[in-house]
Structure 1
Amino acid sequence: MESSPRGPFASTVPYYARFRPAYDDHLFTLLGTRFALDGTQRVLDLGAGPGTLTLPLAARVREVIAVDPEPDMLAEGRRLASEAGVGGIDWRLGDSGTLLALEVGPVLLTVMGASFHWTDRERLLQDLDTLIEPGGAVVLATCGARHEDLALPAWLPAVEEVRNRYLGANRRPDSGPGAYPAVRHEDVLLRSPFSRIEAVHWDRTVRRTVDEVVGLQLSFSFTSPAALGPGLPAFEHDLRRALTALRPEGELLEERVRTDVVIACRP
């Protein structure tokens, strides 16, 4: 998660908050109960994007420091927070490599929504050990990742066929700089100051229109508008046509979506 003038998510901003699935409400209830969140705590959201975790947490704590390397993501987060009337958020441009220089101060929790794999994980956890208060934790959350025990959505092969046609078979979620590393997050945590791990998840069914499935693809770094370049309009057209063929009567496209959370505390 390193800053750059135009990072891998810059062109996804109009699609990210709108089409990515929201985290299950049980996640915020769990954190509220587990850490007795009563509006007095400070929390760091590292890799905050447009505030997908930030905004729900801001209602439960005194302040959320929302850090992201993409300026347009921060601008979108500010806009969404303003629209929702949510305050108590300090939006900061930065990344895991510049975290200590940001002088965010002590925090009870550091949350990361599908951003930990973009970082130097070992170094980051050492840095977080200097920021997180006694009794605090690192919280890793993901939503919508693929799992062997969850059936793949029936529409996924159509998406993959169109994606491969425009970007090549090597353009996959598990390839490129944002790919998940071979060493699991849990194994890295077990070797860190935050080695006491609790993992839970919640599943739900998400139903989307054809346009929403198309928008979801444009929210990913590997199928972003920047990655598609001049081929974007044709990609959207062909993907809509392929998805519509699956649901000619306009029925919604279903997917089982899992919210995963790993809570890592000090022993």
Structure 2
Amino acid sequence: MTWEWDATLYAGSAAHYARGRLPYPAALGTAFAAELGLDGTERLLDVGCGPGSLTLLLAPYFAEAVGLDADADMLREAARPGTGNCRWVHRRAEELPAGLGRFRLITFAQSFHWLDRPRVAATARGMLAPGGVLAHVHAATHEGAEGSVPRAAIAELVRKHLGSVRRAGRGVLPDGTPGGEAEIYRAAGFAGPRRFEVPGPVVTRSLDEVVDSVFSLSSAAPHLFGDRRGEFEGELRQLLREASPAGTFTERFREIAVDLWTPVTRGC
């Protein structure tokens, strides 16, 4: 069966996402500004913004930053900092353009794979202002590439409670999330990509932050455990205490890669 999005995809995950995902580094905002010559006079649209992790980072480089997400709880988390030039829109990406206007930069950060990708990419192309760019941000902010967090054991614990097939909302993703976004962007009328990268940091995380990172995942969202959530969390915390009695963990995160796509100019 073909997986279809539903509103429970990240149900109950918003606060865990905000606490358990590593913030995007300031260097990423600096790199965007340098690559695109941002001067604070234009507009940003962050599609699938979640709790505003990227929106809030990039907002100072724009006159207005619009974060769009289908999960109202995520947007409530995003609105907490109260950044003056941010606007939060509760809609699915498939509802774009939704009267939002045109943008210098449209970003997809850890969100594009959840969407009707051909449809959204084509719509986004039409929402770019002259000289506008679409950015696909490749990042993994929930876990590091290596470190002392026992990620393999955590994955096994999730499988013990939820089964061997990856869960996602009310459905399953036996083959994981789709790739091949380059072909989709090109088919939608984009050229590129031009890539830049920002190094990933080495961070120390608390036991609570690691727990939050697990519940931030669609494949381990709190609602999936039903009335066994407390049992799962108890086993997860015990596993982590055994791995680190001090309750601290170190992880080295992967570099963040950004692919910049520009619309192809179509002749008459």
TM-score (normalizing by structure 1): 0.87
Partners of 1:154 and 1:217 in 2: CA distance? 11
1:204-234 per-position Cα deviation (integer Å, ceiling 9, x unaligned):
2232122211110001111011011111111
> Which segment drifts farther, 35-44 or 22-31?
22-31
Does 1:119 pair with 2:112?
A: no
Residue aligning to 1:247:
244
Partners of 2:219 and 2:187 in 1: CA distance? 31
Q: How large is the Cα RMSD of the aligned pairs?
A: 2.4
Aligned match of 2:214 in 217, 224, 229?
217
Residue aligning to 2:85:
88
Matched residue of 2:200: which SS? strand
Contact 1:3-1:94 within 8 A present in 2 as well = no
1:54-93 per-position Cα deviation (integer Å, ceiling 9, x unaligned):
11111110001111111111122112x22xxx21112111
Aligned match of 1:160 in 140, 155, 159?
155
Aligned match of 1:98 in 75, 81, 95?
95
Matched residue of 1:59: which SS? helix
| CA displacement at 1:112 relative to structure 2 | 1.3
Matched residue of 2:53: which SS? coil
Matched residue of 2:240: which SS? helix
Residue aligning to 2:233:
236
Structure 1 runs not aligned, ≥5 long: none
Partners of 2:66 and 2:251 in 1: CA distance? 35
Does 1:143 pair with 2:144?
A: no
Q: Which aligned runs of 4 or more in structure 1 are off by greater than 3 angstroms? A: 150-154
Residue aligning to 1:33:
34
Matched residue of 1:227: which SS? helix
Matched residue of 1:105: which SS? coil
Q: Structure 1 pair 177/94, CA: closer, same or farther in 2 (3 Å)?
A: farther
Partners of 2:20 and 2:111 in 1: CA distance? 18
> Which segment drifts farther, 212-221 or 249-258?
249-258
Partners of 2:9 and 2:213 in 1: CA distance? 15
Does 1:196 pair with 2:192?
A: yes
Q: State the aligned residue count.
A: 256
Partners of 1:223 and 1:95 in 2: CA distance? 22
Matched residue of 1:53: which SS? helix
Identity %: 29
| CA displacement at 1:152 relative to structure 2 | 7.0
1:238 counterpart letter in structure 2: E
1:226 counterpart letter in structure 2: H
Q: Structure 1 pair 197/216, CA: closer, same or farther in 2 (3 Å)?
A: same
Partners of 1:21 and 1:157 in 2: CA distance? 19
Contact 1:41-1:63 within 8 A present in 2 as well = yes
Partners of 1:127 and 1:225 in 2: CA distance? 33
1:122 counterpart letter in structure 2: P
Structure 2 runs not aligned, ≥5 long: none
Residue aligning to 2:60:
59
Contact 2:211-2:236 within 8 A present in 1 as well = yes
Partners of 2:120 and 2:175 in 1: CA distance? 16
2:91 counterpart letter in structure 1: G
Does 1:264 pair with 2:261?
A: yes
TM-score (normalizing by structure 2): 0.87
Contact 2:22-2:142 within 8 A present in 1 as well = no
Partners of 1:103 and 1:256 in 2: CA distance? 37
